[in-house]
Structure 1
Amino acid sequence: MHAAARARWHPLLGRHVVTAALGRGHDVATFTRGVSGAPPEGVRALHGDRDDPDALARALGEWTPELVVDTSCQTRAAASNAAAALGGVHAYVLVSSLNAYRNWPPGPIGPEDGEPTWDTDEDAYGPIKAFAERELAAAVDGRLLTARVGLITGPHYPVHRLGWWLERIARGGRVAVPAEGARQPITLVDARDLAAWLVGMAEAGRTGAVNATGPAGLTTLGGLLDVCRAVTGGDAEWAPVPEARLLAAGVEEWVHLPLWLRQELARTAWDVDESRARDLGISTQPLRETVADTWAWLRAHERPPLPAGLLAPGLPPDLEATLLPTR
């Protein structure tokens, strides 16, 4: 059985999907532009641009996959081209996003079938993901599982959010943290857990939409930072800064202080019904293991380049210095 003729390489999730599929004995193909690193040994490395209407069919040639795990689909053209080339597969798993919902953020998000998704022509991430869901569902005629994911993390992640906190906390000293934000709930899923589950869903031919997030109540932002301090062994001291002061100083949520959201968003953003994912067997390894493995990877590898178009996460030292309260 062939595991996947996959989408453009997602720099975190894609490699773990390949690893999971190879480990389960599949004949695996990847479809990438070849610019974000070579796939593991033992796969068919197909190359092309998904926005090119002929690229995927040309790369596949006479080979037809049975199962697809699509970890990208970032444009409307990519969705339409995949639908045209892969409509005959036995099962198609699309990695979508909570952004496909009209009401997220801030949420909350209830069961999948009761929440509206975007149906506009806007060239924005959420509407594009919702379009891809519709386009591929029509092409594969009821053989699509849509995994609407939230915050993914783990080793090999080039968007340096958790990694920035780990490195900053490891340096020690007084660390500016959001005062009210420390209590905000947060949930994340380890890319390795998600990848194994995605491959299993393709094998089982599961269909429909699934909120594929970490479990509700997993931790708080403050709890996550405490785990980072314990894992790095640093002597960091939290210096809480009130939200009003952060915003007045121009601190950008999610960027300058990665994973932090303003209170008006944070109180519902991670209130997502993930009961169907739990029923379908998605697992979550202990948070400390995810953080520890990420820290070990950071220390052993050169940091990968940031994906194009994204701002580098982290609080500039000069800005942090102005925020630290006097003793």
Structure 2
Amino acid sequence: MRVLILGGSGFVGRAVADEAVHRGHDVTVFNRGLRAVPAGVTTLTGDRLGDLSALEPGTWDAVVDTWSARGEAVRRTAELLSGRAGHYTYVSSRSVYAGTEHEKAEDAPLVDVADEGYAGDKLRGELGAAVFDGPVLLGRAGLILGPYEDIGRLPWWLGRLARGGPTLAPGPRDLGLQYIDARDLAIFLLDAAASRLGGAFNLVSVPGHTTMGELLDTANEVTGGRAQLRWVEPAVIAAAGIEPWSQLPIYLPPGELHTFLHQGDVTKAYGQGLVCRPVRETVEDTWAWMRGLPGDVPQRADRPQVGLDPQVEAKVLGE
């Protein structure tokens, strides 16, 4: 296929570009030209909220759009590429569902389109993609992990465990996790584009694909086994004022929000062939990527840094 990736150098976009190149596709990426892309890829330079002139000529079989900010940018490209592309994929988010009170399937109610946060941006992106004049796939991803992660969640845990010593591990250790490796997301999206599949899909593993215990035990082993995991109950974490998800990345205690994020309905995606690799492969490959970096792990400027202050961790473990 002739594949156009709107993005293509960051986390998910890079995974899609790598997979597309691996398959032998003719790959073009459109971005600001600030980061490296895979060898053999054609780069068009522009700005999603500004100059799109580089996209005015050309035709493609498939477009993959990884934009995550103002939804108007998606509408602009969907309109511009109508009639010149065969399929449009927008990488959305399960955050578009309204409420967190239960597991969500694709037909669940959505947030208010006027929502000013991330969920609203993603929903407006979905509505923008809908103006495309061909099949549109809405990939509602959940938690995404894997190499090239620029949010910092799994990289923070790997870095923390590599430092070793007593380490706060948020319990219970059998708490189920639901996520997707960016490379498995890329595989599904490119397969869907090839078959011109349309509609919304929750793209994340089955609930309980791994557990907090398996994730941290594996990460500790992979990084050298120097950490002593100290499992701490959710009530102790809450009493210490530690914020799940941001200060303890990936983790949410049992409850409504955990149910929403880690027990989503993925029947539809698995029925279309979604496959998620074992957690060990994600952990090992992310650590290998981190160790090969010439400097710090990249961090998206539009996302806050995650992680727990060492002094707060030591105080909780001391108590």
Bin of the TM-score, shorter chain as denominator length: over 0.9
| 1:124 to 2:124 alignment | no
The aligned runs of 1:40-59 (5 Å cut-off) are 40-52=38-50, 55-56=51-52, 58-59=53-54
| 1:251 to 2:246 alignment | no
The aligned runs of 1:274-293 (5 Å cut-off) are 274-293=266-285
AA paired with 1:84? E
The aligned runs of 1:1-327 (5 Å cut-off) are 1-4=1-4, 6-9=5-8, 11-35=10-34, 37-52=35-50, 55-56=51-52, 58-88=53-83, 89-103=85-99, 105=100, 107-110=102-105, 112=106, 114-141=107-134, 143-180=135-172, 182-264=173-255, 265-301=257-293, 302-325=295-318
Return closer, same or farther for 1:73/1:242 CA change in 2, 3 Å cut-off. Answer: closer
TM-score by length of 1: 0.90
Gaps of 5+ in 2: none
AA paired with 2:187? A
**Count of residue correspondences:** 316
Write the deviation string for residues 273-304 of structure 1: whole angstroms up to 9, x where unpaired.
11111111121112111111111111121333
| Distance (Å, rounded) in 2 between the aligned partners of 1:241 and 1:267 | 20
Return closer, same or farther for 1:23/1:242 CA change in 2, 3 Å cut-off. Answer: closer
Deviates more, 1:207-216 or 1:128-137: 128-137
| Distance (Å, rounded) in 2 between the aligned partners of 1:240 and 1:22 | 42
| Distance (Å, rounded) in 1 between the aligned partners of 2:81 and 2:110 | 24
- CA drift of 1:268 comes to 4.1
Residue identity over aligned pairs, in percent, reads 38
| Distance (Å, rounded) in 2 between the aligned partners of 1:314 and 1:73 | 22
Deviates more, 1:218-227 or 1:243-252: 243-252
Query: What is the SS of the residue equivalent to 1:183?
Result: coil
| Distance (Å, rounded) in 1 between the aligned partners of 2:31 and 2:303 | 20
Query: What is the SS of the residue equivalent to 2:168?
Result: strand
Return closer, same or farther for 1:147/1:85 CA change in 2, 3 Å cut-off. Answer: same
TM-score by length of 2: 0.93
- CA drift of 1:9 comes to 4.2
Gaps of 5+ in 1: none
Answer yes or no: is the 8 Å Cα contact 2:75–2:131 preserved in 1.
Answer: no
Return closer, same or farther for 1:311/1:60 CA change in 2, 3 Å cut-off. Answer: closer
Return closer, same or farther for 1:268/1:18 CA change in 2, 3 Å cut-off. Answer: closer
Q: Which ranges of 4 or more aligned residues in structure 1 deviate by more than 4 Å?
A: none
